[in-house]
Structure formats: C-alpha cells, structure tokens
C-alpha cells in the first residue's frame, strides 16, 4: 500500500465510522415492527405489572399457601380477557389462563411462592419487614408478573389480528417445595404446547444454555422396637442405629460417585430421650446429578443401602420418593432466537442510585462491590456441567421445547435465597428486571408465532435430544400435599 492509498484508507475510515455507529443494523431483527408493537404493549401495562409484583412481594406467601398471590395474577389475567381455570392439578393455587384459539399454542410459566424466614424491607441494609416471616428471596414476585405481562402482549396482538394461535399463562405454585409443575405435568397440562418459555430473576442477563441438576427428594424411615436403654437394651432394636448406619454408608459412597453428584440430608427424628431405645427414626434426603439417569442410579444404590442398614440394625427400613425433577433439556435453537432478541433490546440501564444501592448490598454481604450486571452474557454454545441447583421447569422441558431466560434483578454475586434478593425485588432494580424480561419474552414469542420454521427447528432439536425418552415424573400417585390451613 503506498502512502496515498493509506491516506485514502484512513480518510474512508473516518468517514465510514460514524455511519456504522449510527446505523440501526445492529438492532435489526426479524418482525421488528411487530416486536415494537409488543414492546409498547408491555410499556402500556408496566405500571399494573409492577403493582402486581409489589403486591405479591408484600404477601410473601410460601409454597401452596400462595392464595392471595395466585388470585392477584389470575384476576388480572381474567380482567384482560383470558379464560382462567383455577385450582388445576389438585392445587388450589395453580391456574391456567388462556387466550385465542387453535395452533400454535405457546405457554409461558409464572411462579409466585416465597421462602420462609427471610422477610426484608426494600432497603440496602438487612432489616426484616416482619421478623421471622417469609420473603421473596428468589424473586418469584417478579417472575409471575413479568411472564403474565408477556402473555398479555401476545394476547393483544392476537386480538388485533396481528398473529394467530393460542397463548397460555401457567400459574405454577410451590417451586420451592414440591415442584408444582411436576403435578401439572402429571395431569398432561403441557402436552399440547408447541413451545414453552420461562425466565428467572438473576444477577445477570443471559439466554440460558446451562442445564440444571436433576433431583430426587426422598424420606428414609426406620422402625425398631423400644426398650429401656439400661434395664433391658437387649430387648430393643434401635431405629436410630439403622439411620446412623445408613448415613455412614451414604457418606462413604461420596468417594464412589461422580463429582457432579450432590447428596444432602437432615435428620428429622432420631428418638426422644437417651434412656429409651428409639423406636422410630426419619431422614429427609435429596440426591442430585447432572442427569436424571444419574439420579436414578443413585436412587437404586440408596434404596439398597437403606435395606442393608435395616438388616444390620435389625429394624425395618422404608424409602419413600416424595418428588423430584428432571434436568433442563436445553433447546439451543430456541435459546438462539431469545439471544437475538436480547441483543435487539440491548443492555439494561440502571441509574447511579440503583448501582449505589447494589454496591451497598455487596459491601454488606462481603462480595466485590461491582454493582449490577447490565450487559448481556455472551451466548455459550458449549456449556459444561450445570451448577448446583434444580428446578421443576426441567420437567416441562422434557415435555415441550422450552426456552429459558435470566435477567438481572439483584447485585452481582449477591447471596441468593437471601435478603438482598428480597430487597431488590421490592424496588426499582427488580421492577426494571421485570419489564426487561417481559419484553425479551414477548419479542421471542413473536418470532415463534410468526415463523413456523422457528417452531419446526425447536421441535426437531427437542426430538433429537430427548431421543425417545417418555416423560415420567418422580412424584408418587395421589394428590399433592396441600396444607389444610
């Protein structure tokens, strides 16, 4: 290149750069006009959605007790013209809200249960709103309201004749306890969906290609024979001995399982007083691995272990599976569509006050005061093993192609299931996450309604990765354990 040409090249660069910077190309997506309409609909409802979220944040009802929370969402859906079926799958706080008719049928999941004991005001210092009361430490108040918002966005487009099909919002209770979705799955409530979407409050924005862990939840009981522990202990058989042999064996097994396995338990009953040979002992245990097949293997080993422990102690052993979940079956085709829409929406915007609020929480919880993550996490084509943690969205993902989103609603690295999440979920940081999630979900649904090829891609990948697996949840026969009060 001679000097003359170089000069021209430099000149061109200067001329072209502002042009590139101002072009809208980087934000362009398919069906942009329709997405703008959907975005405007979220904005039109955002005051109501935030109010709904704050209301549910205030109720802070725990698993299967979410009466006021589910009513607030179901009533709003009904007011918007959805047909609402309440109390589905034997759970008074589960509901399905439907609008439109015919195919495609797209579902969107909403949760609203809180966690016990972590009540907190919407402030940057640890300060319970009601000492000892529950709080929304997983941000499910935002989860339910944002998903309903996205469903309303689609409903308005169906109503206006801009797209065809059915939108269904699933009010799914008790994610934190029994996994309400597994009971809804058992009833076949997700079977006719073409695609399902879900999101979760988080400390970052991402189109999630990470899976979650599969889990089984079980109770191990031992029944022995009581006797005076000093006068005639030879007449007794200790249920606690059985339990101790069992936990010893379980803990020895840790050396002989894959590093992806997690096993944790609590002893719920181990006898009453030292001078009575314990007649009854009970342990609650969760087994997890990256895949359901791994958990099935663990369960088989643990069942034998309980039997062996019972034999050794001369007591009866019983293992009862209470529930569990599959790992997330990630659908990359769906996640790519979502990712494009995140790029179209762009990073989140927080004010200086909001960043300061986040930093104050980070200092209080001894994590680096980096503030809030506003950027979209790069798409991860090759995720490794999932981090610890499970969700009942995993079950849905084995029935229908499922897309999963995470959105910033709390400070980076802040402890989860803890007061910082409650605090941010009740103020503008969480509210912004709610609106952002709603927009990302509605834009993604526009792609799914308007382009049948997108749905086809998701379905093909789903069939290839499920590889003929027929969904069968872990929950036992019988109704869900709904509390009486």
Joined together, the tokens standing for residue 460 give 């093909």
Rounded to the nearest whole angstrom, what is the least distance from the CB of residue 135 to Zn ion in the complex? 13
Burial class of residue 408, CB neighbours in 10 A (0-12, 13-18, 19+) = buried
| Shortest separation between residue 1's beta carbon and Zn ion, angstroms | 58
Q: Which is nearer to Zn ion, 205 or 305 (CB)?
A: 205
Residue with smaller CB distance to Zn ion, 64 or 157 = 64
Closer Cβ to Zn ion, 280 or 416, answer by number: 416
Pick the piece of the chain touching Zn ion (CB under 5 A) from 63-71, 116-124, 134-142, 376-384: 134-142
Least CB distance to Zn ion at residue 175 (A): 6
* Closest residue to Zn ion in the complex (CB): 138
C-alpha–C-alpha distance, residues 255 and 44, integer Å: 56
Q: Smallest distance from the beta carbon of 416 to Zn ion, in angstroms?
A: 8
Applying the rule CB under 5 A, the residues between 21 and 50 that interact with Zn ion are none
Q: How far is the CB of 137 from Zn ion (least distance, A)?
A: 9
Among 138, 196, 197, 403, indicate the residue that binds Zn ion (CB under 5 A): 138
> CB under 5 A: which stretch of 62-70, 79-87, 131-139, 369-377 binds Zn ion?
131-139
Q: Which two tokens stand for residue 235?
A: 């007449």
| Smallest separation, CB 440 to Zn ion (Å) | 18
Which stretches of 81-216 are DSSP H helices?
140-159, 180-186
β-strands 105-110, 166-171 pairing: parallel
Task: Closer to Zn ion by CB, 84 or 138: give it.
Answer: 138
User: Pattern of binders to Zn ion over 84-123, x per CB under 5 A?
Assistant: ----------------------------------------
- Distance separating alpha carbons of residues 87 and 217, to the nearest angstrom: 24
Tokens encoding 397:
């993902």
Considering the complex, state which of residue 115 and residue 239 has its C-beta at the smaller distance from Zn ion.
115
Residue 71 neighbours by CB distance under 10 Å? 16
Q: Which is nearer to Zn ion, 96 or 138 (CB)?
A: 138
Q: Measured from the CB of residue 143, what is the shortest distance to Zn ion in angstroms?
A: 7
Binding footprint of Zn ion, residue count (CB under 5 A): 1
Q: How far is 262 from 385, CA to CA, in rounded Å?
A: 13
Q: What is the DSSP string of 229-293?
A: TTT-GGG-B-HHHHHHHHHHHHHHHGGGS-TT-EEEEEEEE--S-TTB--SEEEEEEEEEESSHH
Euclidean distance between CA atoms 207 and 210, whole angstroms: 9
Q: Which is nearer to Zn ion, 63 or 138 (CB)?
A: 138
Determine the interface stretch with Zn ion among 57-65, 136-144, 157-165, 472-480 (rule: CB under 5 A): 136-144
Whose Cβ is closer to Zn ion: residue 138's or residue 309's?
A: 138
**Nearest-approach distance from CB 418 to Zn ion, in angstroms:** 12
Edge-first strand order for the sheet with 316-325 is 262-269, 280-289, 214-223, 316-325
What residues make contact with Zn ion under the rule CB under 5 A? 138
């Amino acid at each position: 290149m001679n000097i003359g040409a170089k000069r021209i090249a430099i000149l061109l660069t200067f001329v072209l750069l502002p042009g590139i910077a101002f072009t809208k190309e980087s934000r362009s997506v398919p069906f942009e006009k329709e997405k703008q309409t959907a975005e405007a609909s979220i904005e039109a409802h955002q005051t109501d959605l935030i109010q709904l979220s704050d209301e549910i944040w205030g109720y802070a009802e725990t698993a299967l007790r979410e009466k006021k929370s589910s009513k607030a969402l179901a009533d709003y859906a009904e007011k918007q013209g959805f047909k609402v079926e309440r109390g589905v799958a034997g759970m008074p706080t589960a509901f399905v809200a439907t609008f439109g008719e015919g195919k495609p049928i797209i579902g969107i999941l909403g949760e609203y249960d809180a966690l016990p004991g972590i009540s907190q005001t919407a402030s940057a210092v640890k300060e319970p709103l009601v000492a000892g009361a529950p709080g929304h430490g997983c941000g499910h108040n935002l989860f339910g309201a944002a998903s309903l918002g996205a469903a309303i966005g689609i409903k308005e487009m169906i109503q206006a004749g801009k797209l065809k099909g059915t939108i269904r919002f699933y009010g799914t209770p008790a994610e934190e306890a029994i996994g309400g979705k597994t009971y809804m799955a058992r009833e076949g409530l997700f079977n006719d969906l073409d695609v399902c979407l879900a999101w979760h409050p988080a400390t970052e924005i991402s189109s999630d290609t990470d899976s979650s862990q599969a889990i089984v939840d079980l109770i191990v009981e031992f029944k022995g024979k009581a006797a005076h522990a000093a006068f005639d202990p030879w007449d007794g058989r200790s249920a606690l001995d059985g339990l101790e042999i069992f936990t010893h064996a379980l803990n020895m097994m840790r050396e002989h399982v894959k590093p992806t396995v997690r096993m944790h338990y609590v002893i719920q009953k181990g006898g009453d007083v030292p001078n009575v040979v314990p007649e009854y002992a009970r342990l609650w245990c969760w087994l997890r691995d990256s895949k359901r097949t791994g958990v099935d293997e663990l369960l088989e080993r643990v069942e034998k272990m309980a039997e062996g422990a019972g034999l050794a102690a001369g007591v009866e052993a019983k293992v009862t599976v209470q529930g569990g979940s599959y790992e997330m079956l990630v659908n990359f085709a769906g996640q790519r569509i979502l990712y494009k829409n995140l790029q179209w929406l762009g990073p989140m915007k927080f004010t200086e006050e909001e960043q300061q609020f986040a930093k104050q929480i980070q200092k209080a919880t001894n994590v680096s005061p980096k503030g809030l993550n506003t950027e979209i996490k790069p798409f991860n084509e090759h995720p490794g093993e999932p981090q610890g943690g499970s969700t009942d969205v995993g079950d849905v993902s084995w029935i229908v192609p499922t897309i999963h989103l995470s959105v910033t609603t709390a400070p980076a690295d802040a402890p989860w299931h803890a007061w910082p999440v409650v605090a941010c979920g009740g103020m503008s940081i969480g509210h912004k996450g709610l609106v952002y999630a709603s927009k990302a979900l509605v834009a993604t649904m526009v792609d799914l309604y308007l382009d049948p090829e997108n749905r086809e891609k998701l379905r093909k990948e789903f069939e290839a990765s499920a590889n003929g697996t027929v969904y069968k949840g872990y929950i036992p026969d019988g109704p869900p354990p709904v509390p009486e009060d």
